[in-house]
Amino acid sequence: MQQAYRALRILAEAQTVRMMLTAEPCALLLDELASACAALQNGSAGLTCVILDFGVVPPPAEQVGSLGGLVADCRPGSGAATKLRNAAERAAALVRAVPQPVLAVVRAALSEEASLLVQAADLVLIAREATLIAAPAAARKAERLPGEQAVRLGLATWCTPARQLDRRLEEVLTLLRRSSALALRQAKAAVRLALRWLPPSSLSVSPGGEREPGSFSLPLPTEDEDESARQLRESRARLEALRRVNTFYLSEVSCSEDAQEGLQAFLEKRAPRWQQQQREQRERERA
């Protein structure tokens, strides 16, 4: 992530990366977000969380520098609608592919493109006064939802008054930073693995956007399928998802150094010393 971005602001904090986004991102900002998320695929093992912070006010023109038409190009709604939508979908796909948990923080009323990015995140903290646009379901138009309703519908994880948003954010980040960075990546990988094997009817929100294309290989429903056949098909899919997650746990998670350290720390009643933390401490001592 050494690239210099023109519209995207990135802040490196303690074991986290915060990407500052406007409530109505333009195509340039979406393209740069996609590039930043792609860069996180490698070389980000020490991160416990990636934060998408929505509702940030764009910088004034005097802070942008001599970038020509950048400010005009980044006005909300600039550019063709199709180009903007395509840029948002590409960025959302790369947000989902980030190995670390992605936490979206919603501070304002979001555009449809920003809402698409929020729904690609793993965790969502939304202000009670903020709103986002839910993806349209079959035969239903897109709907703007306030914070509390977004939580009730499963589109957000937590809702808090705007004045308490930063305090609640720090509480969430404290919990994540205490965890093993490796364990958090593996937990997300396990969830994604399960989603790839669940049938579409088993997913409650935006099923098409959460799974890789063609990943569900068990029998799909037919027009003459009765209720018992549907239940059998979905039960088989859930068992297959469970089997694959269990295999992943036994082959990847339980064999890791952090898994052994977590168990040892519990038995010795002490705080765990995660692998990445020890590596960083050794590097500081050598420096």
The string of pLDDT tens digits covering residues 99-154 is: 999 999 999 999 999 999 999 999 999 999 999 998 765 445 778 999 999 999 99
Q: How many CB atoms lie within 10 A of CB 174?
A: 10
pLDDT at 272: 82
pLDDT at site 36: 94
Q: How far, in Å, CA of 157 to CA of 146, rounded?
A: 13
Question: Counting Cβ atoms within 10 Å, is residue 32 exposed (0-12), middle (13-18) or buried (19+)?
Answer: buried
**C-beta of residue 90 within 8 angstroms of C-beta of residue 139:** no
Q: Where in the chain is the domain with CATH 3.90.226.10?
A: 9-177
157-183 average pLDDT score: 92
Q: Residue 15: what pLDDT?
A: 85
For the chain, first and last CA: distance in Å?
23
pLDDT at 214: 42
Q: What is the CATH number assigned to the segment(s) 9-177?
A: 3.90.226.10
Higher pLDDT, 215 or 147: 147
Sign of the CA dihedral with 270 first, then 274, 275, and 277 last: negative
pLDDT of 78: 46
Q: Which of 69-78, 93-102, 141-150, 223-232 has the lowest mean pLDDT?
A: 69-78
CB 71 within 8 A of CB 93: no
Q: Which amino acid is at 136?
A: P
Per the CB < 8 A criterion, the answer to whether 101 and 180 are in contact is no
pLDDT at 221: 60
Give the angle subtended at the CA of 214 by the CAs of 212 and 220, to the nearest 5°: 120
Predicted confidence (pLDDT) at residue 203 exceeds the cutoff of 50: no
Residue 103 near residue 49 (C-beta atoms within 8 A): yes
Give residues with Cβ within 8 angstroms of 187, minimum separation 6: 101
Exposure string over 78-99, b if 16+ CB within 10 A, otherwise e = eeeeeebeebbbbbbebbbebb
In the numeric block, which tokens belong to residue 33? 């977000």
The structure's pTM equals 0.74
> Can you say whether the dihedral through the CA atoms of 243, 248, 249, 251 is positive or negative?
positive
Length of the chain equals 287
